[in-house]
Chain A
């Protein structure tokens, strides 16, 4: 187990290094400069600003300086946001994004399990059909379209929840729903397929032959066996949520990381772009690592060697 973890940790660091490198050079290819009013500045002024931020050095030197800083946890100062340290920006922006992400994940996955499970048990009935249509719609409609529809119909017309902004819990409801659409649909489809498969397996037949009630069969045997593979879906779902949040946070004017990320890209705020990218990457690889470990714990068949067996 320790050996396995060590190996995974090594790959994790390698992955992060590659992401940092690729992002750094891709970012340098972005058109434009970080200066918002370049035309009004004289050449020497521009040179002076570039010099303070180290932008006059060759790109490879900037890269090395950046890497060295990053290893020490120093992401540099933001160009745009009042020269605050990027790490401070991340810390202040993170809670909102994190809250939305977690809420959307819980709502989406839980609803998906319930809906997918019911569809599987009532398969080939109108219940199943309706649920299939709903989940296909939720997969096909991009989260930003869903967000605008929610804003218009539920926020504006019905006035049930705030249209945009950030405050108490009610402000989080619409963005949570908009974000939850994709994880919900993915989970529902996944669980339905998984459950239909499991329900037709021999051990379910044996469970029925034991005299279990149909709820007993589902609860004791079918659910656990269909939920285990769902763990593998958590990684991709996290990615979906991250990309979704970029746009959705903008639409709802949520002071989160996604919103800041988009702003930093449009203004060539190099340190912020790098900081957020790295934070997303770390989050993702850690989620993937945790999924793999949890999978091993939950499924007795792939419990890793060296553990109790």
Chain B
């Protein structure tokens, strides 16, 4: 990845994480590097078990006991987070880096009033009085759109709906105005209309609070309206990364093709969705060569022997596939992807200016706003 240290808030370099299990060492993260700039939203996309959550949890030092950091660095404010003690990590958690979890139904303490839960990080980190913390919690509760916040601050989690609870979880995460917000599939457990509201709220708050977001999801559709850049993960590695437009309209890695093809768009006619065949490899014993080769109809001979390095597509766009090697034969991607790439070519006519087509994806923007919770 291109490095510009002054701008990068977080820089992950060659991260390797193993999990010790009874069956052996699971190599969950195999050499992952990425960076996060101030104010941007980076989406990490991949299927279950690809290592998205493990990667981001290691940013907070919150991995399970049997996780073992086998190498690499996570630079945050010029310091390696991986070298910090548990005590130092506690200073960072909730203050500089905060997290939103997947399931709002279970991520709030059922026996504590929500006001107290929102105020807790303030009391720990900013050492403010309980009264002051509660006042700030009330402000935050209003900010995340809880109506009648003055009364509801004394309610318990079970008195709120799922969407409201996720707003409360967001309030907890943002109460200390963190520099980095990690959102681990924050909308997966919500139904679609609520999803759109939560995404919209996150975007609004990102501007107000000026936080950078790492957005983890397996749903490319959710990402389209949210992220600035996308990193696609597969089997513990990043296989392609670039700006949203680059990933959506000029994808290079066959796995990204597969992901895009398995996602419905407004152009999709019924019955046309295609799945990626096969299952991800067993990371107890990762395959030699390209981990995706076994499921890849475009796999080359070399894929079975040697792992592909990152090939540069543009300054911001890299993909790890041998297809980009100059010696490789040109392949024609699936029809839908070829269509996207044609669109991409059109977008770049006339002095390289980007002309975005009307977005065909079901992003937060084009969902009806009128049906609020």
Contact A210 B159 (CB under 8 A): no
Question: How far, in whole Å, are A211 and B125 apart by their CA atoms in the complex?
Answer: 8
Closest A residue to B122 by CB, please name it: A210
Contact A300 B111 (CB under 8 A): yes
Task: Tell me, yes or no, whether A208 is within 8 Å of chain B by CB.
Answer: yes
Question: How far, in whole Å, are A210 and B92 apart by their CA atoms in the complex?
Answer: 9
Question: How far, in whole Å, are A241 and B124 apart by their CA atoms in the complex?
Answer: 43
Query: CB-CB contacts of B277-292 with A at 8 A, as 1s and 0s?
Result: 0000000000000000
Task: Tell me, yes or no, whether B260 is within 8 Å of chain A by CB.
Answer: no
Query: CB-CB contacts of B92-128 with A at 8 A, as 1s and 0s?
Result: 1111001101110011111110000000110011000
Known: A216-B124, A300-B156. A209 touches B62 (CB 8 A): yes
| Chain B residues within 8 Å of A201, by CB | 106
| Chain B residues within 8 Å of A208, by CB | 62, 93
Select which of B91, B99, B125 is within 8 A of A209 by beta carbon.
Answer: B99
Least distance between A155 CB and chain B CB atoms (Å): 44
| Chain B residues within 8 Å of A309, by CB | 159
Closest B residue to A225 by CB, please name it: B111
Task: Tell me, yes or no, whether B172 is within 8 Å of chain A by CB.
Answer: yes
Known: A202-B106, A300-B158, A301-B158. A209 touches B111 (CB 8 A): no
Task: Tell me, yes or no, whether B90 is within 8 Å of chain A by CB.
Answer: yes
- CB within 8 Å of B: which of A203-224? 203, 205-214, 216, 220-221, 224
Closest B residue to A222 by CB, please name it: B109
- CB within 8 Å of A: which of B153-174? 156, 158-159, 169, 172
Question: How far, in whole Å, are A78 and B162 apart by their CA atoms in the complex?
Answer: 64
Question: How far, in whole Å, are A71 and B92 apart by their CA atoms in the complex?
Answer: 67
Question: How far, in whole Å, are A220 and B111 apart by their CA atoms in the complex?
Answer: 10
| Chain B residues within 8 Å of A173, by CB | none
Question: How far, in whole Å, are A204 and B110 apart by their CA atoms in the complex?
Answer: 11
Contact B169 A210 (CB under 8 A): no
Q: How large is the interface on A (under 10, 10 to 19, 20 to 34, 35 or more residues)?
A: 20 to 34
Task: Tell me, yes or no, whether B60 is within 8 Å of chain A by CB.
Answer: yes
Known: A206-B172, A213-B90. A299 touches B120 (CB 8 A): no
Contact A210 B94 (CB under 8 A): yes
Question: Interface centre among B87, B102, B156, by most A CB within 10 Å?
Answer: B156
Question: Interface centre among B92, B111, B112, by most A CB within 10 Å?
Answer: B111
Contact A207 B109 (CB under 8 A): yes
| Chain B residues within 8 Å of A220, by CB | 112, 120
| Chain B residues within 8 Å of A212, by CB | 90, 94, 120, 124
Contact A210 B109 (CB under 8 A): no
Least distance between B187 CB and chain A CB atoms (Å): 16
Contact A228 B93 (CB under 8 A): no
Select which of A203, A209, A228, A300 is within 8 A of B94 by beta carbon.
Answer: A209
| Chain A residues within 8 Å of B106, by CB | 201-203
Question: How far, in whole Å, are A275 and B240 apart by their CA atoms in the complex?
Answer: 81
| Chain B residues within 8 Å of A203, by CB | 106-110
Contact B101 A206 (CB under 8 A): yes
Least distance between B53 CB and chain A CB atoms (Å): 11
Question: Interface centre among B91, B106, B110, by most A CB within 10 Å?
Answer: B110
Contact A205 B111 (CB under 8 A): no
Contact A211 B169 (CB under 8 A): no
Least distance between A41 CB and chain B CB atoms (Å): 66
Question: How far, in whole Å, are A203 and B158 apart by their CA atoms in the complex?
Answer: 13
Select which of A207, A211, A216, A224 is within 8 A of B111 by beta carbon.
Answer: A224
| Chain A residues within 8 Å of B111, by CB | 224-225, 228, 299-300
| Chain A residues within 8 Å of B91, by CB | 211
Question: How far, in whole Å, are A216 and B120 apart by their CA atoms in the complex?
Answer: 11
Question: How far, in whole Å, are A300 and B95 apart by their CA atoms in the complex?
Answer: 29
Closest B residue to A227 by CB, please name it: B111
Query: CB-CB contacts of A211-253 with B at 8 A, as 1s and 0s?
Result: 1111010001100110010000000000000000000000000
Select which of A202, A205, A221, A300 is within 8 A of B62 by beta carbon.
Answer: A205
| Chain B residues within 8 Å of A214, by CB | 86
Question: How far, in whole Å, are A250 and B157 apart by their CA atoms in the complex?
Answer: 51
Closest A residue to B104 by CB, please name it: A202
| Chain A residues within 8 Å of B87, by CB | 213
Known: A202-B101, A216-B124, A301-B156. A209 touches B93 (CB 8 A): yes
| Chain A residues within 8 Å of B95, by CB | 211
Contact A205 B101 (CB under 8 A): yes
| Chain A residues within 8 Å of B107, by CB | 202-203, 205-206
Least distance between B86 CB and chain A CB atoms (Å): 8
| Chain A residues within 8 Å of B156, by CB | 300-301
Contact B125 A202 (CB under 8 A): no
Contact B93 A211 (CB under 8 A): yes
Least distance between A223 CB and chain B CB atoms (Å): 10
Question: How far, in whole Å, are A203 and B95 apart by their CA atoms in the complex?
Answer: 18
Closest B residue to A299 by CB, please name it: B111
Contact A206 B108 (CB under 8 A): yes
Question: How far, in whole Å, are A224 and B110 apart by their CA atoms in the complex?
Answer: 10
Question: How far, in whole Å, are A221 and B158 apart by their CA atoms in the complex?
Answer: 16
Closest A residue to B169 by CB, please name it: A206
Extra contacts, 14 of them, besides A205-B101, A206-B108, A210-B93 (Cβ < 8 A), are A202-B102, A207-B109, A209-B62, A210-B98, A210-B120, A211-B90, A211-B91, A211-B95, A212-B124, A213-B87, A224-B112, A300-B111, A300-B158, A301-B110
Residues of chain B whose beta carbon lies under 8 Å from any beta carbon of chain A: 60, 62, 86-87, 90-95, 98-99, 101-103, 106-112, 120-121, 124-125, 156, 158-159, 169, 172
Q: List 7 A-B contacts (CB under 8 A).
A: A209-B62, A209-B94, A210-B93, A210-B98, A211-B94, A220-B120, A301-B156
Top 5 closest A-B pairs, CB basis? A211-B94, A211-B93, A210-B94, A202-B106, A202-B107
